[in-house]
Amino acid sequence: MDRLFELGSEFWVAAAETLYMASLTLLIGGLGGLLLGTVLYTTRPGSLLSNRAVFNIVNVVINFFRPIPFIIFIAAVQPLSRLVIGTGIGNDALIFALSIAASFAIARIVEQNLLTVSPGAIEAARAMGAGPLRILRTVVIPEALGPLILGYTFVLVAIVDMTAMAGFIGGGGLGNFALVYGYRQFEPAITWAAVIIIVVFVQGVQFLGNWLARKVMRR
Amino acid sequence: MALVALRNVTKTYPAPEKGAPPVVAIDGVSLEIEPGDVYGIIGYSGAGKSTLVRLVNALEPATSGSIEVDGREITTMPERELRGIRLGIGMIFQQFNLFNSKTVWANIAYPLQVAGASKSEISARVAELLEFVGLAGKAKNYPDQLSGGQKQRVGIARALATSPRLLLADEATSALDPETTQEVLELLKRVNREFGVTIIVITHEMDVIQSIATKVAVMDGGRVIEHGDVFDVFSNPQNPSSQRFVGTVVKGTPSPAELAVLRERHEGRIVTISFRDGDASQAAVFVALATAGIEFELVYGGINDIQGRAFGHLTLAIRGADAAVDAVLAEISSRVDVTEVP
């Protein structure tokens, strides 16, 4: 325990780094996933802008990247990371890799949730003369908003989980903190302190997500 | 000029699996719907009636044939232009298809936003429509807080928002209980009467046709097998399928099984007399029967009212001397249709 107090400020820096990595990834990966998922949904056969070629390409790309274990993916995208953001190590490189990986995961979640929108509501909008993009923006996404929020909450929890691998490429965060000061220095109290903060963080996110979704779905 | 004119329209869907023949949903349908009509289209499920109505607002493209709406051919029209046509056609659905994430107010405002109306126009029009459908107090509610009948009234208000000349009602009352069905049908009648909106009513329930339609087409296997004024089709259906539908609401002539029961209970000859509006009055027929020196009993049938015109079939059991019965039957058959049931 004493050791934990000695490391006090570093502990809070690590916590802040986790928050930083998770929220920035949610923002970038979330937008990327929304875009990819919406493309999947709208181009699938029989949908608003069905286009077999686009659907198949996006589908195959997602299926290619999704099964890659994240720790290997971090290493694999390192050259691309250097090219795009100028570095292959540190928190920002982790955000880069995680945003890409999260985009593909979120794309599937977005696609699944958009598919739950009743075809009847879409038909009604078509019958009123609305075009595909307007229907997407004003009917499909609002109708799916509740489940989408729950989906994003689920993803954010998974993102927090994956930020623990930042230490692998020289990044920080609570995961790295627990491994470096807790695990390697035989200080279980430190490991558990990190665990508790992460659990509190995840509970908070889940609570917020549930509350928002309930507000949107009014159930 | 007809508001909607279908000429030899077909709709074929690709085969569901390899080697199977393509599915013919609509098989050479021609229909003309005049402005002001409440045109009923009735058929069993799978008869093609829902597909037919979706051809009229081009939610489904026709495979061949011509469809004119308000004098404009829509089968060759590009999608962008079709959206303009759809703004002038309202549609209501069996499952209401309201937007659950939007309030009642926002549901009704939606087509006006699509049409590019200004905010003040939208407010005024939505308020007017809420008043018309009797839901002025529900503007801020969400669809899941409404009953089925209320949801359909929102659906009707939404469909009327852009003041269309044509309203398509696809099984609009099939998910409602009988009482709510009557409410919604009354509302549709007002829509037709007060705004002069032409309505195409798709249904599998003959009493829906009976209570609101002026004309009816009976569909079976993707074809229109009989069509005409509701009174004509109800009082004298030609096709066996039409006869079955009419039989669901009109107590006409007894079936063979019912006839056997009647024969057990009643002596004498059994005769069905068919009245149609404009024929001789019932009074004259009954006076003739009463003064003929025979006994008769009314054993089956009823008189129906379709848009203020009456028709019906009455089956009588008549006892008396053969000669006297023959004489009176000859007399009344000069006035009405008389069929002796063997």
Range in A36-40, B154-158, B317-321 with the lowest mean pLDDT: B317-321
Contacts within 8 Å (CB) and 24+ apart, B234-242: B234/B210, B234/B304, B234/B306, B234/B311, B235/B276, B235/B277, B235/B304, B235/B306, B235/B311, B236/B276, B242/B218
What CA–CA distance (Å, rounded) separates A83 from A79?
6
Average pLDDT over residues B129-148: 94
| Start and end residues for every CATH 3.30.70.260 domain found in chain B | 256-341
**Residue B341 confidence (pLDDT) above 60:** yes
pLDDT of residue B278: 63
Q: Which of B205, B219, B199, B218 is nearest to B176 (CA)?
A: B205
* Mutation site, A113, A117, A128, interface B, largest B CB count within 10 A: A128
* DSSP-derived pairing of the beta strands B309-319 and B269-276: antiparallel
Residues of A with Cβ-Cβ distance to B77 under 8 angstroms: none
pLDDT of residue B196: 94
Is A129's CB within 8 Å of B115's CB?
A: yes
Q: Cβ contacts (< 8 Å) between A139 and chain B: which residues?
A: 99
**Kind and range of the H or E run holding B66:** strand B64-69
Q: How far apart are CA B86 and CA B54, in angstroms?
A: 11
Task: Using the predicted structure, report yes or no on whether residue A5 has a pLDDT greater than 90.
Answer: no
Per-residue confidence (pLDDT) for residue B286, from 0 to 100: 85
pLDDT score of B104 = 97
The CATH number of the domain where A152 resides is what? 1.10.3720.10
Residue in chain A nearest B143 by alpha carbon:
A218
Distance from CA of A144 to the nearest CA of B (A): 8
- Tell me the Ramachandran region of residue B228: left when phi exceeds 0, alpha when psi lies from -120 to 50, beta otherwise: left
pLDDT range class, residue A9, cuts 50, 70, 90? confident
- The ipTM, to two decimals, is 0.84
CB-based contact (8 Å) between B125 and chain A? no
Give, in order, the Cα–Cα distances in Å from A127 to each of B53, B92, B93, B218.
11, 9, 11, 24
pLDDT (0 to 100) of residue A198: 92
pLDDT exceeds cutoff 60 at B280: no
pLDDT tens across B168-184, in order?
Answer: 999 999 999 999 999 99
Closest chain B C-alpha to A60 CA, distance in angstroms: 25
Which of A59-68, B164-173, B225-234, B282-291 has the weakest average pLDDT?
B282-291
How close does chain A come to B96, measured CA to CA in Å?
8
User: Could you give the CA distance from residue A14 to residue A86 in angstroms, rounded to a whole number?
Assistant: 23
The CATH H-level superfamily of B4-88+164-249 is P-loop containing nucleotide triphosphate hydrolases (3.40.50.300)
| Contact predicate A95/A165, CB 8 Å | no
Backbone CA torsion sign across B133, B138, B142, B146? negative
A129/B99 Cβ within 8 A? no
- Report the pLDDT averaged over residues B222-242: 88
- Considering only CB atoms, which chain B residues are within 8 Å of A143? 99-101
| A143–B93 CB contact, under 8 Å | no
Residue range(s) occupied by CATH 3.40.50.300 in chain B: 4-88+164-249
- Is the pLDDT higher at B239 or at B32? B32
Phi-psi region of A86 (alpha: psi -120 to 50; beta: other; left: phi over 0): left
Q: Of all residues in chain B, what percent carry a pLDDT higher than 90?
A: 59
Give the pLDDT score at B279. Answer: 57
* Contact between chains at B97 and A128 (C-beta distance less than 8 A): no
- Predicted confidence (pLDDT) at residue B61 exceeds the cutoff of 60: yes
Range B256-341: architecture per CATH: 2-Layer Sandwich (3.30)
Residues B292, B284: Cα–Cα separation, whole Å: 12
What is the predicted pLDDT for the residue at B282? Answer: 77
pLDDT at B290 (0 to 100): 85
Tell me, rounded to whole angstroms, the distance of Cα B233 from its chain centroid.
Answer: 11
- For residue A32, give its domain range: 2-217
Using a CB-CB distance cutoff of 8 angstroms, which residues of chain A are in contact with residue B95?
Answer: 118, 120
- Report residue B235's pLDDT band, with 50, 70 and 90 as the boundaries: confident
Cβ <8 Å between A142 and B102: yes
In this structure, what DSSP letter does residue B21 have? P
Average the pLDDT over each of A26-40, B77-91, B242-256 and give the range with the smallest value: B242-256
Is the minimum CB–CB distance between B286 and chain A shorter than 8 Å?
no
d(CA B29, CA B37): 18
pLDDT of residue A1: 61
Contacts with A125 from chain B: Cβ below 8 Å: 99, 110, 114
Within 8 A of A218 by CB-CB distance, chain B residues are: 142, 144
Q: Does residue A219 have a pLDDT over 80?
A: no
A residues 123-182 closer than 8 Å to B (CB): 123-131, 134, 138-139, 142-143, 145
Is there a contact between A134 and B114 if contact means CB atoms under 8 Å apart? yes
Q: What is the count of structural domains for chain A? A: 1
Task: Please provide residue B293's backbone torsions phi and psi, each rounded to the nearest 5 degrees.
Answer: 75, 35
Chain B partners within 8 Å of A124 (Cβ): 91, 93, 97-99, 158
Compute the mean pLDDT over every residue in chain B, rounded to the nearest whole number.
Answer: 90
Helix/strand/coil (H/E/C) assignment for every residue in chain A = CHHHHHCHHHHHHHHHHHHHHHHHHHHHHHHHHHHHHHHHHHHCCCCCCCCHHHHHHHHHHHHHHCCCCHHHHHHHCHHHHHHHHCCCCCHHHHHHHHHHHHHHHHHHHHHHHHHCCCHHHHHHHHHCCCCHHHHHHHHHHHHHHHHHHHHHHHHHHHHHHHHCCHHHHCCCCHHHHHHHHHHCCCCHHHHHHHHHHHHHHHHHHHHHHHHHHHHHHCC
B59 CB neighbours in chain A (<8 A) are 123, 126-127
